[in-house]
Every structure is written in structure tokens, then in C-alpha cells.
Amino acid sequence: MRNRVCPSCPCDHGDKSESARLDRRDFLSKSLLAPAALLVVLEGKPADKAAAAEAPPPAAYDPTRHNYAMGIDPGKCIGCGRCVEACKTENDVPREPFYFRTWIERYVIQTDGETVVTSPNGGIGGFAPTTETGILRTFFVPKLCNQCTNPPCVQVCPVGATFTSQDGVVLVDGSYCIGCRYCIQACPYGARFLHPVTHTAEKCTFCYHRLVKGLVPACVEVCPTQARIFGDLKEQASPLSRFTRFNPIQVLKAHLNTEPKVYYANLDGEVR
Amino acid sequence: MISAAQPLTEVLQQIKGYIYPNEVELQWGLLVVVYPYVTGLVAGAFILASLARVFNVREVQPTYRLSLLTALAFLIVAPLPLLAHLGHPERSFEIFLTPNLNSAMAMFGFIYAWYLMVVLLLEIWFDYRKDAVLWARQGKSWLRFLHRIFTLGANDLSERSLRLDRRAGRLITLIGIPSAFLLHGYVGFIFGSVKANPWWSSVLIPIVFLFSAIVSGIAMVLLLYMLSCLVRRRDVDMTCADKLASFLLYALIVDFSLEMLDFIHRLYAAEESIHILSQMISNRLFLSLIVLQVLLGTVLPLLFLTLVSPAFRTHGRAVVKAPAELRRLVYFGSAMLIQMGIFSTRWNVVIGGQLFSKSLRGLTVFKLELLGVEGFFMSALLLLLPFVILYLLVVVLPPWPDREAQVEAANSAETAPG
């Protein structure tokens, strides 16, 4: 039996010789005190409350310790559109087919060299079977805000309502945005829209409200094939690090020097 | 469903190729077309005024004050389309309070305030002060009251004080020329610096904007001058009109050359975007770009002005010797065509830049609504408003040279001994 337990480790630091000396008399006298002790516990001792208040708080979220990014493996995407649906639900994105924080594109490259790209309702509900003939190759590509390291949207915002957080996520302060739409024009990826009700700019936030709780973005959570890999660039050992280490990585529109943080594995040259 | 959704659903059916889903809604509509058109007129009218003031082009002196008042009337209206366009106009003051200094658009408030307060209002004040002091002594009571307020109590008409007015006016015009360039060059920069958009992203855009501004400003003052003569039943000073037409032609040649340079450069460089941009020009912008902007708005006035104006006179004569009556008609017609052409230029830049997808795979359409803040009537109202403001300004501060002469005569009669 252990009468003193070290709070920090499972090992037994108790004085065994003392516990061995517990005789019948001691046992009975301590047993009589037990109900009284239980009552005190149930009542809640004021001294306990004070002790709880003095205890250090649970480790607070420290944004400086993270730099979030996402890996996407188009080879794994099956175009089910569950990520798009989850994003709309999680973030209250208007349901109309022209407001998206994330969407799926299907590329059909034909033998004659023509490329047909579609994204019906952003891919929600999946894609109808291809009707094209002479298909050379076809694949799906999830799209979202690229959380650029050099974000043009942040540069052009006249009031600084859109900004890069300390943990590397480009966010919009909806209470500050004046709705000039310059950021939407500046985004090379079509990742922003003006919310039709709030009249402020909207975009993917990597589900920031989930990140600070230690959760992954909703799209990543629901992806059945793990085509989306979420992670922290400051973490050496993570699925994202592994993903970027073992795949040839491309980013979208690299020539614009926006330095995206959404990394695509083995991306087809047709994708813009 | 959200009210905005209905027209967007219609757009969905007219998309050609593939566009990113968020591109279905065009972000900048007619109001943003009106904005560069109006600021262009401000800059152009001011540069015309500076021709008389700084470069001593005596022939255009009759339009000096009219140019200043035109610039002011349009400058007052310039921020209104932007304000009406904002999702949250009530937060617009944040541009002044907490500007993002990395943003070109954040500079708008400062450049606007500088131009209005330091350049235009001061120049008008120094130029009109002497007349306002004199007008405050005669005329209708409410006008006298306004003139008295205008003088701000500076009633000194001594030679020394008038010399100061002239010097200050000249200095402000000197500062005003680069400021006018800044005002409209900046508007061009707003578009030219968007690297995400191959239609806008060009270092030439600010310069093209500037010269098209000069063209539109001179054409507008020419129109207003001729109309004012008609209303006031005065003869058009043909020396002035000829000179204005010549300057209009010079500016138009530079403007057209720059636009052609931009066009040829794009065609020759043939970057990734060339296919979608060619499709856009031949499909969506054929009427507004090829017909209205280039043929009717530029080539035709170029031809007319080259033939009729004395810009390229040989042996003291224009290419075609035309009587004053015909020249007036040609000038008026050309200036009207130029206005239409420059408005089309603004349309083609602003709307054209949003008709193709940044995926470079498809084209969309622009649905112009009649009613609502972004509608046709609102923009029409904002385009008419400067003329109403100009009318009021002209009533309070008559810009006519003969009016000055009258005041001068009345004044000398008053002060004459006996």
C-alpha cells in the first residue's frame, strides 16, 4: 500500500516501513474519521477552493509556437465533396453555389489535349460520371485559401482588417472589414468572397476556432481518404512533415511569389 | 434564398468554360467604373488649368477658371461612388484612422484630402479672392453673404497683397501638376498593381490612365465651354477652341500610342493569359472595346481633329480649311465621342478585368441592374451630380472672363474721383 503518491510520476516514493506499522487500533480510529472526511469532501472545503484558484491554469494556447499548413494529395481525392459540405456546415457558409471556403475541381484531360474542368456546386454531393470520350487522365483537386506567406490580400486591405495571425493563418476581422472587396480582387486563387449577409470578406481560416482547441479543420476531419493532411510546420515529427518529405511538392501559381502554405503532392501541370 | 442570389443564378447559366466558384459574383460594378472616370476628369481639367497658369498658354485663358471649378465639382463627387460601393460605408473613416500603410488603397484618403484642401480649394481661393472682395460689395444679398464668407475676412486689395495672391496661385499650380498626376496615376496603380489579374497587371496602366485623364479633362472643359457660350449667348472664342482642340489631339495621340503599345506588348509577349484575354476581347468586350473605345472613341476623333484642328498646320493653315461653324461642330462632336470612349476605357478596365477567370479557363458575364445602389440609375445620378455642383459653383463664383472685366469696370467707375 502506498500512503504518499508523487503527483508527477507513477513511482512509489512512500516510506514502506511506516505503512507496514499500521496496526488494528490505528485502522479503527482512522476508519471512524472517514465518514467525517467524506462529508467535508462532499461539502467542498473552502480551503480546497482556494487551493484550486492558486493552482497554475491549464497550458494556454500559444500561437507563436505554431505555423499551420496543409498538404493535399490529389491522388487520394475521390471527389466525394464531404469536405466542402463539412466546411459549409462548420463555418455557416451560405449554401448558394457561388460562396465557398473550399471546393473540389475535377480535371478531365482528353486525348486531343483539351482539358475540361468542372466543380458543380463546389463538388458537394460528388460528381456525375464523366461524359467526355477519349479521356487521357482525370483527377480531383481540392482547393482552398493557400494561407500564403506573402499574402496579396493582406497587402491590399486598406484598413488592415485582414491579417496573418502569429500561427500563420490569414484571417479576416469581420468587425473591422469595410467591404471594399480589394482583397477578393487581389487573391490569385479565387479563395475569397463577400458574405451576402454580413457584407464583409470571407475565406478559409483553417477552422481557426477548432485549431485553438487542438482540433483539425473540419474538411480534414471528414475526408474519408486522408487526401488532406493538416499540420504544423514548426513540428518536426508530424504527418505533414512526413508528407512533404516523401512527396514531390508543388504550390499553385508559384510564379506570383505568394509562397502558399497549401502543398500539393504530384500536382498535374494543368491545375491553376 | 438571399436576394442577391437570383441574378447570380442567371449568371451561372451564361458562364463559358470554367471559372472559380467564387468568381460568379463580380466584385466591382458600375460604381467602380464611374470612380476612375470622375477622377480622370478632375486630373485632366486641372492639368488644362495649369496650361494657362504655369505654361502661359494665353489662348486657353478663357477656360482657366472653368477648368478649376470643373475639377472641384468632379472632385467633390469622386469619393461618393466608392462610398456607395462599400459593404460597410459607416466604417470608411477607418481608412484615415488606422490605414494599412502597405495598401495602395489606404492612400486614397490622404491623396484626396491633399488634392482637395491643399491644391484645388487653395488655388481657387487665391485666384478668386480679389473678385470675391469686390463682389461682396454689390449684387444680391445672399450672394454677397457667400462672397464675404469666401474671402475669410482677407479684404486687402493692395498691390502687394494681390501680388501675393498671384504668386501663391502659381506656386500651388506648380504643386498641383504632380498632385494631379499622383491623383490619377494612383487610381491606375490600384489596378496595375494587382498581380493576380493579367488584364490589370501592367506597369503602363497608371500612365495610360494619366493620359486618358488629360484627354477626358480637356474634352470635358471644351464641351462645357462651348455649352456655356451657347447658354450665355456669347460667341465661342475660336482661338481658345482651336488651341483646346490642338491640345486634345496631342493628348489623344499620346494616349492612343500608349494603349497600342500595351496592346502590342501583350500580343507579342503572348503570356499564359493571352488565349483567355483574346477570347474575352472578341466575345465579351467587342462592342465596348473595339467599337466604342477604339473606333468611335479614339480613331474617329483622331481623324476629325487631325483634319480640322490647326494642330498640324502647314503654312499657317489646317489640313482641311474649315469655317469656324464647322470646326465648332467637329470639336463638339469629337469631344462627345471622346467622353464616350474614355468611359468605355474605364468600363473595359474595371469590368473587363473581372469577366475572365483567374483560372484562365473561362468567361463570365456582367449583369447590370437598373435599381439599387449598384444599379444604373445610381451611377447615372452620380454622373449628373457634378454638373449640378458645377452650376452652383458657377453661380457663386462666375468663371467668365467678361464678368471679370465688368467687375473691373464697375470697380474703376466706383473708385474714380468725382
Q: Which residues of A touch B85 (CB under 8 A)?
A: 180
**Residue A57: per-residue pLDDT:** 54
Residue ranges for chain B with pLDDT beneath 70: 1-6, 314-317, 402-418
Task: Dump pLDDT digits (tens) for B318-349.
Answer: 778 888 899 999 999 999 999 999 999 999 99
The ipTM is 0.91
| pLDDT reading at A19 higher than 50 | no
Contact check, Cβ <8 Å, B86/A159: no
Q: Which residues of B touch A188 (CB under 8 A)?
A: 195-196, 358
**Residue A141: per-residue pLDDT:** 98
Q: Which of B22, B85, B86 is opposite residue A193, by nearest beta carbon?
A: B22
Q: Which of B12, B98, B353 is opposite residue A159, by nearest beta carbon?
A: B98
Q: Scan residues 132-191 of B and list those with Cβ closer than 8 Å to A.
A: 190
Rg (CA), chain B: 23
Contact check, Cβ <8 Å, B196/A186: yes
**Residue B399: per-residue pLDDT:** 93
CA distance A131 to chain B (A): 16
**Residue A45: per-residue pLDDT:** 46
Q: Which residue has the higher pLDDT, B269 or A19?
A: B269
pTM comes to: 0.87
| pLDDT reading at A30 higher than 80 | no
Q: Which of A155, A158, A190 is opposite residue B20, by nearest beta carbon?
A: A190
Contact check, Cβ <8 Å, A157/B92: no
Helices B159-192/B30-53 angle, 10° precision: 140
Cβ-proximal residues to A34 (8 Å cutoff; 6+ apart), any chain: none
**Residue A133: per-residue pLDDT:** 86
Contact check, Cβ <8 Å, B87/A178: yes
Task: Dump pLDDT digits (tens) for A101-113.
Answer: 999 999 999 999 9
**Residue B242: per-residue pLDDT:** 94
Is B132:B149 a contact under the CB 8 Å cutoff? no
Task: Dump pLDDT digits (tens) for B108-137.
Answer: 888 988 888 889 999 999 999 999 999 998
Distance (Å, whole) CA B340 – CA B288: 10
**Residue B19: per-residue pLDDT:** 97
Q: What is the mean pLDDT of chain A?
A: 86
CA distance B91 to chain A (A): 6
Distance (Å, whole) CA B404 – CA A125: 76
CA distance A108 to chain B (A): 12
| pLDDT reading at A12 higher than 50 | no
The nearest alpha carbon in chain B to A176 belongs to: B91
Contact check, Cβ <8 Å, B27/A194: yes
Q: Which residue has the cell 498538404?
A: A71
Q: Which residues of B touch A117 (CB under 8 A)?
A: 17-18, 359, 361
Distance (Å, whole) CA B183 – CA B4: 33
Distance (Å, whole) CA B134 – CA B139: 10
CATH numbers and ranges of domains, chain A = 16-54 (no CATH), 63-101+144-265 (3.30.70.20)
Contact check, Cβ <8 Å, B27/A177: no
B28 to chain A, any CB pair closer than 8 A? The answer is yes
The nearest alpha carbon in chain A to B273 belongs to: A272
Distance (Å, whole) CA A152 – CA A142: 21
Q: What is the mean pLDDT of chain B?
A: 91
**Residue A20: per-residue pLDDT:** 46
**Residue A5: per-residue pLDDT:** 35
**How many Å separate Cα B249 from the centre of its chain?**
16
Is A102:A144 a contact under the CB 8 Å cutoff? yes
**Residue B406: per-residue pLDDT:** 60
Give the closest residue to B254 by CA, choosing from B212, B218, B223: B212
**Residue A10: per-residue pLDDT:** 38
Q: Which of A96, A143, A178 is opposite residue B86, by nearest beta carbon?
A: A178
Contact check, Cβ <8 Å, B358/A122: no
Per-residue confidence band for A132, with pLDDT thresholds at 50, 70 and 90: confident
Alpha helix (H) ranges present in chain A? 16-20, 24-43, 46-54, 82-91, 152-156, 182-186, 208-211, 218-222, 239-246
**Residue A109: per-residue pLDDT:** 96
Among A73-77, A177-181, B136-140, B259-263, the minimum mean pLDDT is found in: B136-140
Helices B238-269/B205-231 angle, 10° precision: 160
Q: Which of B2, B24, B104 is opposite residue A156, by nearest beta carbon?
A: B104
DSSP state of B92: T
**Residue A190: per-residue pLDDT:** 97
Cβ-proximal residues to A242 (8 Å cutoff; 6+ apart), any chain: none
Cβ-proximal residues to B65 (8 Å cutoff; 6+ apart), any chain: B127, B128, B397, B399, B400
